[in-house]
Structure 1
Amino acid sequence: MSKKFFEERGDQSAVKAEIIQKYFATWANIILPTAQRYGGGKIAYIDLYAGPGRYKDGAASTPLLVLQKAIENPSLSGALVALFNDMDVNNTQTLQSEIDALLGIEKLKYKPEVNCNAVDHDAEEYFATTKLIPSFTFLDPFGYKGLSLRLVNGVIKDWGCDCVFFFNYNRISLGISNPMVQSHMAALFGDDRAAELRKNVEGVKPALREQMILEELTQALTEMGGKFVLPFRFRNDKGRLTHHLVFVSKSFKGYATMKGIMASASSKADQGVASFAYSPADSSMPLLFELTRPLDDLEGLLKKEYAGRTVSMLDIYESHSVGRPYLSKNYKDVLKKLEDAGDVSVVDPDGKPRRSNSFADRLMVSFPKVKK
């Protein structure tokens, strides 16, 4: 099945690879100085479903792209520990050959490790019980076998550890109602949640079914320690949902960084607010989806939630943006609009002169009380 997946690289695979590459590079730049100062100076990239390294059209897949980033960066080439795994021996042999042939691979201080193992209970146990160096882990199973809450928790439990996993929505949505794969659904959602979800989604319309499944997944990940969860949707050329990339982190900084990357990868934005989705249909069928005015919604939300309070721009962003599609820029745009309209008052606690058309993180925003 993975052989079919790697036959050729489509637009969705290219977008997925771009998101992973960009986050890895940014994450490494953030984490590496602290790792060098207080740790052993190592950081890791882990891919447990690595594939053969290239698609049949010759395009490099994520493992090779990540290694190329490391080769190009002298600081990273001396610190990166890369761990690749695939359960298909043909994939691992091909991947090893592709890695060995990379131009400049000798610049890496630590030779990339390629293993051939099933992602199973033993893998769960290893990551649950092993203290990891700062690591960015990518889990990209073709379906859902091996993907579990315990595995995700294992790879993010230590400092500086983040994870992105491929969530095959179509297969998982079918699996929830299939008694033959209940053990896999329980591993992914938890026993009680999987049973409750199976009962609640029966006969529900597709859009609501997706919301219910994602909500339960997010709640399960949050409860086990993944404080910040961010899904990115992929739709086909008819606009139908196919799968998600799901980011999990314990760090708001990581969450905000990935949010910016996923926003830039989105194929659609309304009022400057990204859809956090990629679909060829967004350009070919622009009226396919319901139109909204998300910045107008944000304005109303802020007026209601912060009524009678004085809060800094940064505190508003960190407390209000989690679970919502808004970026820091969106908050600044709305707050500037409210200030210009006289709906909020803004003070710089440092007394510094304000630059025109800017809204610094430190600015204190006072919202009026809601009139009864």
Structure 2
Amino acid sequence: MLQAMHVKVEATLMAPTKFFDERTDQSEVKARIVQKYFYVWAKVIIPSVKQRGKKIAYIDLYAGPGRYKDGSASTPLMILQQAIEDPDLRSMLVTLFNDADKNHTSTLQAEIDKLNGIERLKFKPHVNCGEVDADAVSYFNETRLIPSFTFVDPFGYKGLSLKIVNGVIKDWGCDCVFFFNYNRINAGISNPAVKTHMDALFGEERAEKLRKLLPEKSPEKRQELVLEELAQAIKAMGGKFVLPFRFKNAKGTRTSHSLIFVSKHFKGYEVMKDIMAKESSVMDQGVPSFAYSPADASTPLLFSLARPLDGLKHELPKLFSGKRLSMGHIYESHSVDTPFIKKNYKDALLALETEGKIKTTPAKRKKGTFADHVIVAFP
């Protein structure tokens, strides 16, 4: 499978695809999230890399043919176009695109060759055809990768495993985002024919736990439990920060699939959280849904009456009672695994300050501001 892998640490890849017939709104949102994060990630990491090996990588294990039938570019071409236009990326970016379908890889190569300015890239894009199999798992887990952002976007679940995710994030500067088809997983978790795939994705113990618990759960609770177990499995493996972005069906009643981000560093988590927040269909008191729903987008007033910012405002004084902390510390220590972004914390603390429920240093600031260094004293 990895017969074409003579590009060292620049990485590898592999598997099928089917959704390139037309570009849906969900496909556009997914592509924007990946592209935006890649660019910010690259800009954050490049200054450090310039002192090291002077290479970074973008890896796409299920790259597809490059374009949808309507002619719009998919993620690989979007990433390469970004690289062509940026001086640092032109000289530092190694790209590895894989797909199991030979028609896809040959079409992708042809589309890459046609990109205006592609010859300006220092490292020629590498296109590989192969499955994401045991060899791929071994390669990623045994090879020290250069700083890489990896996109794993299988059509179903074949090839997606905890070991693959661990392999692509284990080294310094390496982050990953992968597509998680909830509908396929939900149908497969109790199917003996795909037990091996489910065990590889969740780990045997967690997969067995899900098989026992899911049948008695409502559809909504099934979704929550599956995503929670997946996130916990990734964290147990070393992916400290896990952030899912859900895509819902046309009626907005159920999650059909999710894009799941994994990083070992809070900075990456913060950056992706802001990106996903902006791509959310709706906000409730400025708190993002971290979901794209055609129904929510068309009827945002029906989204929620939960008023989550009020909940945050009430929770912070209880949680940090008697403590003096900076706004930045409060945000970083509390925001992980919550839907709240930095602006939500500033808004909540401003409200608490106005109500006289906290004291701040410095107390005199430009109206409406709450910088990261401002000290908050909770009674």
TM over 0.5: yes
Matched, 1:165 2:144: no
Tell me the secondary structure at the aligned position of residue 195 of structure 2: helix
Query: What are the equivalent positions in structure 2 for 1:179-328 lying under 5 Å apart?
Result: 179-239=192-252, 240-286=254-300, 289-328=303-342
The alpha-carbon deviation at position 147 of structure 1 amounts to 0.3
**Aligned equivalents of 2:260 and 2:361: distance in 1?**
38
Bigger RCO (CA 8 Å, 6+ sep)? 2
Query: What are the equivalent positions in structure 2 for 1:120-199 lying under 5 Å apart?
Result: 120-199=133-212
Tell me the secondary structure at the aligned position of residue 186 of structure 1: helix
Q: CA RMSD in A?
A: 1.3
Matched, 1:13 2:40: no
**Aligned equivalents of 2:200 and 2:305: distance in 1?**
37
The alpha-carbon deviation at position 284 of structure 1 amounts to 2.7
TM-score (norm 2): 0.94
**Aligned equivalents of 1:5 and 1:99: distance in 2?**
20
Sequence identity percentage? 63
Post-superposition Cα deviations, 1:270-299, rounded to whole Å, max 9, x if no partner, equal 101110000110133446544210100111
Matched, 1:115 2:128: yes
Gaps of 5+ in 2: 1-14
**Aligned equivalents of 2:302 and 2:352: distance in 1?**
32
**Aligned equivalents of 2:120 and 2:46: distance in 1?**
18
Letter in 2 for 1:301: E
Matched, 1:341 2:355: yes
The alpha-carbon deviation at position 203 of structure 1 amounts to 2.4
Matched, 1:365 2:365: no
The alpha-carbon deviation at position 308 of structure 1 amounts to 1.3
2:177–2:262 CA contact under 8 A, matched in 1: yes
Post-superposition Cα deviations, 1:226-245, rounded to whole Å, max 9, x if no partner, equal 00000000012211311000
**Aligned equivalents of 1:283 and 1:262: distance in 2?**
15
The alpha-carbon deviation at position 320 of structure 1 amounts to 0.2
Gaps of 5+ in 1: none
Letter in 2 for 1:115: N
Count residues with an aligned counterpart.
Answer: 364
Tell me the secondary structure at the aligned position of residue 78 of structure 1: helix
TM-score (norm 1): 0.96
**Aligned equivalents of 1:250 and 1:147: distance in 2?**
19
Deviates more, 1:216-225 or 1:173-182: 173-182
**Aligned equivalents of 1:119 and 1:214: distance in 2?**
23
Runs of 4+ in 1 over 4 A off after TM superposition: 287-290
**Aligned equivalents of 1:171 and 1:291: distance in 2?**
31
Q: Which of 343, 351, 354 is the aligned partner of 1:329?
A: 343
Post-superposition Cα deviations, 1:283-329, rounded to whole Å, max 9, x if no partner, equal 33446544210100111221211111111111111110000011111
